[in-house]
Amino acid sequence: MSEEYTKIELNAEINERVEAVVPVYVKGAGYRTEMMRIYIGNHNGGIRTECIYIEEMTPELRTLYKIGVAVSDKLINMVNKQTEKK
């Protein structure tokens, strides 16, 4: 079964692959940044990052981004709370 959705193309070399995609939401005084940080690894163990900003995301990716931000926030809060107990 194949899903139909629009993919985002990245500039990657033949020996690279996407290792992780992390939603990032930062809000401060007078600014807001919404992006997906993509970690791209190579066969030598090196990692580089690329970013896709909210304006560049497809509708499907925006939906997953919002879900990812919610999950990430919960995970960060859980780790912070566990760390504070030590």
Q: pTM of the prediction?
A: 0.75
Among candidate residues 81, 76, 65, 78, the one with its CA nearest the CA of residue 24: 65
How are beta strands 31-42 and 16-28 bridged, if at all?
antiparallel
Percent of the chain with pLDDT over 90: 62
Q: Sorting pLDDT into bands at 50, 70 and 90, what band is 1?
A: very low
Between 1 and 53, residue with greater pLDDT: 53
Cα–Cα distance measured from residue 21 to residue 72, given in angstroms and rounded to the nearest whole number: 11
pLDDT tens column, 49-73: 999 999 999 999 999 999 999 999 9
Model pLDDT, residue 86: 54
How far is Cα 47 from Cα 41, in angstroms, rounded to an integer? 4
Alpha-carbon distance of 71 to 78, in angstroms, equals: 11
Domain that holds residue 51: 16-85
Residue 53 included in any domain: yes
User: Is residue 11 domain-resident?
Assistant: no
73 inside domain: yes
The stretch 8-27 carries a mean pLDDT of 87
